[in-house]
A and B are shown apart, each in its own frame.
Chain A
Amino acid sequence: MRITLDEETCIGAGQCVLAAPEVFDQRDSDGIAVLLTETPEEDQRAAVADAAIRCPALAIRITG
């Protein structure tokens, strides 16, 4: 699984951090989301999918 995050559209709502804290974090400086890994383990799939559907800016894409 590979994920991408569009920092430009991210509005820093933090939904991804709640959904998948092992994969997403927010930068202290601007609150925008950052990926802790671009290729999370398979056991994170459900959490990442939840993050993607919760993201109010549709900024998270999952491929593979």
Chain B
Amino acid sequence: MTDTSSLPTTRAFPTARPAGCPFDPAEDYARFRTEESLTRVSCPAGIDAYLLSSYDEVRALLNDPRLSSRAAVSTHVVLDRDLDAPTVPGSILHLDGPAHARLRRMLTPEFTVKRMQALREYVRGLIDERIDAILAKGGPVDLYQEFALPIPSLVICELLGVPYADRDRFQAQSSILVSTDAAPELMAATSQEVQQYIAGLVMTKMAEPADDLLSRLIQRGNESETPLTLEELIVLGLSLLVAGHETTANMIGLSTLALLRNPEQLAALREDPSLAESAVEEMLRYLSIVQFGLLRNATEDIEFGDETIRAGEWLVAALASGNRDESVFPNAEKIDLRRNPTTHLAFGFGAHQCIGQQLARVELQEVFSRLYQRIPTLRLAVPFEEITFKDNALAYGVRGLPVTWDA
């Protein structure tokens, strides 16, 4: 039994955004940030956790090797999840220490700045093709379905080496997987199909290596002392898809909506596409789409200020709160595309910081410097109040984005 008498009062984990402000995190965070002692919250998953809400706390926590990621990313808000379930081999997000480093080191060469820059031309071509298709179709269109969702999934196809003939189908299935409103049966069936597809792809690459991420990963594993197993390779492939598709799609959709609501900022970006780099960092900071933060578990007692966090306790790093910390980002509640807040927390911090971040940056920078230039009169095709949001999803975003423009 743990002695709980010294623990601070427990509050509900904040999930609801302020009424009418779909871009702002829950109001409670601002209060929590100013409190001296650690904040205790009870989470939807049925556990109590310490909530780290200031920028410095979030960074310190995420860089502490005494904390385990075994129930990451935001399992504290997932109902009916067994928090003590064993970690699946290959699940890079959930492994710790040397087991994590082994996988991470096999993947890092695939995501270097240089390699991702080399993909830029391809990404730009893809974006231009999609814009051409949208313009040819004519408004109104759902920009989320027709643009935000396909781009990141087609980029992952290119990365993994999915044959061209399979890409449309793969894209459609992966969009079902990340949707928040598909029927459970369709979801289960699709998930099965995608898993089988990736398994088949891995086996093909084992038999006939080509010039792609999966083939090189297999080879790198074989050259190491502990080759990657088939199961690990499948889980890694799926992890890249799951972690890289919906996140980037949500950033495209939600950023576009936020910019349409801030026309002077959008105009600045349209007139000066060289702002795209800084604009991407600012939108990542401002929107913090991994909305419920990252869950960690203490593997030993940890002194935190005057308090001791006991081994076994849960902790949540509130990325969205740290990114609105006024002591680091003055006027944090305002979008300022010139701010260039490169130290934001939207990709996490520490050993698990997003491995795909340089790819996400290239995709978002290319969207930011193409979409608004090529469709300068882009606007919502419905009243703002009719846009619905993924309030309960781990990655926040719009459910759809009907837009139109002057033909």
- Closest chain-A Cβ to B100's Cβ sits at a distance in Å of 9
Q: Roughly how many angstroms separate A25 CA and B104 CA in the complex, as a whole number?
A: 18
Query: Which residues of chain B from 338 to 372 have a CB within 8 Å of any chain A CB?
Result: 342-343, 348-351, 353-355, 357-358
State the majority secondary structure of interface residues on A.
loop
What number of A-B contacts does a CB cutoff of 8 Å give? 66
Provide a sorted-by-A list of 11 A–B residue pairs whose CB atoms are within 8 angstroms: A11-B108, A12-B112, A13-B353, A13-B355, A13-B357, A14-B357, A17-B113, A26-B113, A26-B114, A31-B108, A56-B353
Q: Are B342 and A28 in contact (CB under 8 A)?
A: no
A-chain residues with CB within 8 Å of residue B108 when the two chains form the complex: 11-12, 26, 30-32
Q: What is the CA–CA distance of A13 and B355 in the complex, to the nearest angstrom?
A: 6
* Interface membership of B109, Cβ < 8 A: yes
> How does the 8 Å CB contact mask read for B220-257 relative to A, with 1 for contact and 0 for none?
00000000000000000000000000000000000000
Of all chain B residues, which has the CB nearest A56?
A: B353
Known: A11-B353, A13-B355, A56-B350. A30 touches B109 (CB 8 A): yes
For A12, list chain B residues within 8 Å (CB): 104-105, 108-109, 111-112, 355
The 8 Å CB contact of B342, one of A17, A18, A26, is A18
Point out the residues of chain B lying under 8 angstroms from A15, CB to CB.
342
B interface, how many residues as a size bin?
Answer: 20 to 34
Residues of B within 8 A of A35 (CB): none
Chain A residues at the B interface, C-beta cutoff of 8 Å: 11-15, 17-19, 25-32, 50, 53-54, 56-58
In the bound complex, what is the Cα–Cα distance between A26 and B355 (angstroms)?
A: 14
A50 nearest CB neighbor, chain B only: B342
Measured between C-beta atoms, what is the minimum distance from B223 to chain A in Å? Answer: 10
Instruction: Say yes or no: A26-B112 contact (C-beta < 8 A), given A13-B355, A13-B357.
Output: yes
A28 engages B63 (CB within 8 Å) = no
Q: Which partner residue on chain A sits nearest B349 by CB separation?
A: A56
CB–CB B63/A57 < 8 A: yes
A27 to B63, CA, bound (A): 23
Taking CB as reference atom, which chain B residue is nearest A58? B63
Quick one: which of B108, B343, B349, B354 has the most chain A CB within 10 A?
A: B108
Instruction: Indicate if B313 sits at the interface (CB-CB under 8 A).
Output: no
Tell me which residues across on chain A come within 8 A of B104, comparing CB atoms. Answer: 11-12
- A31 contacts B110, C-beta separation under 8 Å: yes
Closest to A27 in B: B109
